[in-house]
Amino acid sequence: MPATLELDNGKHITYESAIKKDENIINEATYPRARKQLFQKLRDQRATIQDIVRHHLRLRGEDACIVEDQWIRGSFNVCIPVEVRSAGFNQKLIFRCPMPHKLAEATYPGTIDEKLSSEVGAYVWMQEYCPDIPIPQLYGFGFSDNRHVSFFYITCQVLANTTARIATAVKPGTYAAEFSSWMGVGELS
């Protein structure tokens, strides 16, 4: 049996098949190991993920916040379902994290933050200019330099913006950063 390389889709490829492809199989063969390491790191940080969700939603100590075991992997993100049960909020949410190895973060530092900025910008634009188009509710997001924004802060900003618009007819930004020492990057929707 010829030697094979595992690819990100779980399939294996032989050298003979790889040389016929017009893609970087050597690079793709690094993805399974990098994905497994990232998933393990995230599993080790379950308590931190719960803390981040609790912070963004302003949950109380008695409120349930459970990181579920069945994760969803896309091409560039891992989506971690989180169940929240509290007196006023019972929902399943997605804690979404970019996969650095798929974005060449090691070679091009900042690509994750750039991707996240673009996605959050699209959310903001859609909420502002296309309110009739349903999109997931964005409760919070964070960058690698520890800037993050949460739903509570966004609500306060919206109230401040409304007051500012009435008073000055100038519209300040809806989203603004606050700083924290949370791990890594991602978004909660």
Report whether pLDDT(103) > 70. yes
Higher pLDDT, 16 or 174: 16
Half-sphere exposure of 52 (CA within 13 A, CB side): 34
What average pLDDT does this structure show over 53-65?
88
Higher pLDDT, 88 or 64: 64
pLDDT category of residue 6 using cuts at 50, 70 and 90: confident
For residue 37, what are its two tokens? 């390491």
Question: What does the alpha-carbon distance between residue 43 and residue 29 come to, in Å, rounded to a whole number?
Answer: 23
Which range (51-55, 156-160, 182-186) has the least confidence?
A: 156-160
pLDDT at 128: 85
pLDDT at 100: 92
